[in-house]
Structures are given as structure tokens and as C-alpha cells.
Amino acid sequence: MNDIISHVIFFALAILAVSSAVLVVTGRNLFHAAMFLGLYLLSIAGYYFLLKADLVGMMQVFVYVGGVVVVLLFGIMLTAQLTNVRLTSALEQRWVTIVSLVSLVGLLVFVAKDTVFKVSQLSPVEDTTSFIGKMFMTDYILPFEVISVLLLAALIGAVIIAREEGGK
Amino acid sequence: MLTSVELVEFAAKNGIPIWALDASIALVLALAVFSLCGLGVIVLVYMERKVSADIQLRLGPTHVGPRGSLQLIADMIKLLSKEDVFPKHADRWLFRLAPALVFIAAFVGLMVIPIGPRLVVQDLSVGLLYVLAIPSIAVAGLIMAGFGSYNKYAMMGGLRAAAQMVSYEVPRALSVIGIVMLAGSAKLSTIVDAQGFWYIFLQPIGFMVFLVSTLAEINRVPFDMPEAESELVHGYSTEYSGMRYAFFLFGEYIALISAAALTVVLFLGGWHGPGPELLGPIWFAIKFFGVVFVIMWVRWTLPRFRIDQVMDLGWKVLLPLALLNILITGIVMSI
């Protein structure tokens, strides 16, 4: 019974995600494209909730919709020449595009046909937040620390770049 | 609310398909929260008018209804009957969608806030994160309004709104980490249950940082940069009138409701109070109106900051304080 509901939600999200992703690429207006990117990222967050990964879903909304998309919109609004300009997207390298498209689709079909998708029989973890926290602090401490150092370096780099611009 | 096991049993006993039961419960709850919100907004607007009048030695609305209490109804009728105006070069879809997005983002944030024992629409295990993440969708709505209006004041307002909300999200999220550490959970009902002793006393720094960044997050004076009427006409909502403008106002007040309710849940012990558990929602309401009063009091007594002062405060004062709070909490907990 519950399967039907989750199937309906799955396909609704799939339609939403694919159509908004197509609109991101084909849209002529940069601002609209950024908005559709936000919609696409939200529908991906919907998948995480469907899979009972609520912490990951929340982080998707927090980081991508609240952070990345807003920064993108910021950039678009600050580059005044680009706002309200309809960009043309004409196909210039027709043959290269067709060849690479056909080979990519062929490869994906080939891979999808031969792969056996393993489905875990375990029920999903109830309290994902504390579980993820424990895993970070025990089994995956090294990757966690490496990412922390990387982010710290990015943060310091951003401050230095901003300083140089302001000093001139 | 009922647990899912009880629901499944109820559905099986009465022969109702589970999806129909689920959908109807969701609909009823959404309508209930919506009407509660509408009522809350009416009360808060009246309260705002009377509090501001009192602080400024005025009387406030007096003519419409007893002691001016029906003034908002008159205003709503006026807004509803106004012509639906589009600016000439406006991006119609963005212009149309922006008020709805701002309103929805504010509204869905209320879904996880418990107002009494088991009185919550959906008690998520990441409820706290949810309440903090949802306002970032409203930011997109404000930018849409600013960009879609094709007006320089609206554009500036939208940009300021985005800059302010994005930078205050950081100290706001960090200031509640101390609470998550103490309660050992991000589930809002667990946080309330863990407060035998209110967290406002255990986390005074966290409370200060949270309150200030909440004021900035819901764009209230002294942080109402996005609409600063003396410099930006009316910010992102300059070009809006009639029903769409009403939706912006509605969304703003619902954001205020949700912020005050969250403050009560996190720092003031939620529904806890003397007397039987049944009195929980009443205690919650009393604390809620106390917090709302403080927010209004701040609004009508302090002047507006400049935008650079707002940014300085967020990044150079509140963020280090929030980090210090986490450090102190960690040290005290490990002793």
C-alpha cells in the first residue's frame, strides 16, 4: 500500500527534476535558469526525504538552495549587463555534439542494462543525525578532518582575495 | 498527534485506504495551522499598532470597531479590492510567484513547532535544522521580487535582503548548536522535554546571539535594511500593491510568529509551566506573546542601522560570540 504512494511521489519528483533540469540548460534568461536550478535542487532534496535520509535532505536545502543558488542569483544581479538580456544558445559544433551525445547515451544504456542494482534488506536508520555524527567521529574521521582543513583553507583564501580588492 | 502504527490500525479497521487517510489528515492539519496563523496575524497586527502607539504617545486605531480592533479587516478589504498592477517591464512570472514563495516558505516553517505535549504537525528528528533551513527559500522569493519588478529600489532591496539573510543565517545556526549539545537531539519536542531548567539561563550568550540574528532574519527594525523607506522607498515590495502586497505582509507576520515560537521552544521551556499538562498551550501562548512584545518593543524604540553596520555586526561580533558559546558549552559539558 505504501509502495503505491512512494511510487507516485517518486515519479512526480522525477518529472519535476528532469523538466526543471532541461529548462536550466535551454532557458534563454539567465535569472530564470538559476531559479530552475533551485527547483531542481529542491526536487533532489525531495528524493532524500523519500529515502528517509532527512539530515542529508535538510543539508541539501540549506547548502544548495540557501547558499549556492542565492550566490548565483547575486552574481547575476550584480553583473548589470547580463540582466534581462536574452542569451542565444545556438548549436555551433553540430557533428561533435551528435557523436559525443550518441556515445554517451549508448554507454549509459549499456551500463544500466548490465548492472545488477543491489538493494539492502536492512530497514533505514531511525535517528540519522546521531548515526552520521558517530560515523564521522569514529570510522570516517580522516576524510572528515581532510574536508575540514580544505574548507578552512578555502575560507582563508576567500578572506585574502577580498582583502586585496578592498586595499587597492 | 497519533502515531503511525495507530493510524495504520485505524485505517485497517475501518477499511479506509491509507493514502486517503494520510491525505485528509494532512489537509485538515494544514487548514488548522493556516487558520491559526490567520488569527495570529490579526492579533499581532492589532498588537503592533497599539504597542507602537503607546510607545510613541499616540492612541493608534480607534474608529473602526471597538477600540479600533476591526481596522485590519478594513485594511484587508481595501487591499483585496485594489487593482492588480504590473510594472511595464516587469518579469511577469517572477513578479507573480515571489509573494507566494515568501508566504509558503514562512508558512511551512511552522509545521514542526510543538505548542504542547504531542501537539505538533510533524515532529521531525531534524526539526531544528528544518526551521533554520526553510527561511533560505524565502530569500529566493525576495530576490525574485526585487529582480522581477524591474525597479532600481526593488533591486537594491532584494540584494540587501539576500545579503543580510545569508550572513545572519550563519550565527543563527551556530547559536543553537549549544542547545543541541545540551539536549542531545535536534528534535524540537526532545529539546523542550530536556529543559527542566530553561536554556535562556544555561545559554545566555546563545540566547543573545539567537535573538539578534532572528531580528535580522525576519527583517524587523533595527535590521529592516531590505525595505528602509527613507532610502529605498519600500525595498523589494516597492512595485507591489493590492493582494500581492498583502501576501508579503502576511508572510512577514508569519515569519514573526514562527521566530517567536521558535525562541519559546528553544530557550523558554516551550509548554512547560506550573499546573497540569493540559495547560501547556496556554503557557506557550503567554511566553509567545511575551517574546512578540519584546520584538515589537525593540522595533519601536531603536533607530535603523546602516547596511555596513549590519554586516559588521553579523560577521565580526555575532559569529565569534556564537563560536565562543559552542567552545564554552563544550568545555563545561566535558568537565
- DSSP class per residue in A79-126: SGGGTT-B-------HHHHHHHHHHHHHHHHHHHHHPPPP---SPPPS
Interchain pair A31, B147: CB under 8 A: yes
Contacts of B18 in chain A (CB under 8 A): 1-2, 5
Judged by a CB distance cut-off of 8 A, whether residue B5 touches chain A is: no
Contacts of A84 in chain B (CB under 8 A): 89, 91, 150
Q: Which residues pair with B116 in a beta bridge?
A: B119
Q: What is the pLDDT of residue A88?
A: 63
pLDDT digits (tens, 9 = 90+) for B25-62: 888 888 888 888 888 888 888 888 888 888 888 887 87
pLDDT at A85 over 70: no
Contacts of A66 in chain B (CB under 8 A): 133, 135-137, 139, 166, 169
pLDDT digits (tens, 9 = 90+) for B93-130: 888 888 888 888 888 888 888 887 777 777 777 888 88
Q: What is the pLDDT of residue A145?
A: 92
Where exactly are the structural domains of chain B?
A: 38-81, 85-334
pLDDT at A106 over 90: yes
Which position has the higher pLDDT, B243 or A44?
A44
Q: What is the DSSP letter of B271?
A: T
- Residue of A37, A58, A64 to mutate, testing the B interface (most B Cβ within 10 Å of its Cβ): A58
For residue B18, what are the CA distances in angstroms to A4, B14, B262? 10, 10, 32
Interchain pair A77, B94: CB under 8 A: no
Respond yes or no on whether the N-terminal peptide bond of residue B171 is cis (omega within 30° of 0).
Answer: no
Mean pLDDT of A155-165: 81
Q: Average model confidence (pLDDT) for chain A?
A: 82
Q: What is the pLDDT of residue A154?
A: 92
Q: What is the pLDDT of residue A81?
A: 58
Q: What is the DSSP letter of B279?
A: G
Q: Which band of pLDDT confidence, cut at 50, 70 and 90, is reported for residue A84?
A: low
pLDDT at A134 over 60: yes
Residue A15 neighbours by CB under 8 Å, 6+ apart: none
pLDDT digits (tens, 9 = 90+) for A17-34: 999 998 888 877 778 888
Q: Which band of pLDDT confidence, cut at 50, 70 and 90, is reported for residue A142?
A: very high
Residue A65 neighbours by CB under 8 Å, 6+ apart: A38, A41, A42, A45, B136, B137, B140
- Are A66 and B139 contacting, i.e. CB atoms less than 8 angstroms apart? yes
For residue B214, what are the CA distances in angstroms to B95, B262, B302? 27, 10, 16
Q: Which band of pLDDT confidence, cut at 50, 70 and 90, is reported for residue A86?
A: low
Q: Which band of pLDDT confidence, cut at 50, 70 and 90, is reported for residue A153?
A: very high
Q: ipTM score of the complex?
A: 0.78
Q: What is the pLDDT of residue B76?
A: 83
- Residue of A35, A43, A126 to mutate, testing the B interface (most B Cβ within 10 Å of its Cβ): A35
- Are B157 and B146 contacting, i.e. CB atoms less than 8 angstroms apart? yes
Of the CA atoms within 13 Å of residue B78, those in its CB half-sphere come to 8
Determine the distance in angstroms separating the CA of A55 from the nearest CA of chain B, rounded to an integer.
Answer: 6
Cell, residue B225: 535594511
Q: What is the DSSP letter of A5?
A: H
| B residues 144-183 closer than 8 Å to A (CB) | 144, 146-147, 150, 155, 158-159, 162-163, 166, 169
Fold of A1-89: Four Helix Bundle (Hemerythrin (Met), subunit A) (1.20.120)
Q: What is the pLDDT of residue A68?
A: 85
Q: What is the DSSP letter of B119?
A: B
Nearest CA in chain A to B132: A62
Task: Quote the CA–CA distance of A52 and A132 in Å, as a whole number.
Answer: 13
Q: Which band of pLDDT confidence, cut at 50, 70 and 90, is reported for residue A102?
A: very high
Q: Which band of pLDDT confidence, cut at 50, 70 and 90, is reported for residue A149?
A: very high
Question: B273-304 burial, b if ≥16 CB within 10 A, otherwise e?
Answer: beeeeeebeebbbebbeebbeebbebbeeeeb
Interface size, chain A vs chain B, as Cβ–Cβ contacts under 8 Å:
86
Low-confidence ranges of chain B (pLDDT < 70): 1-8, 11, 15, 225-230
Task: Quote the CA–CA distance of B290 and B299 in Å, as a whole number.
Answer: 14
pLDDT at A150 over 90: yes
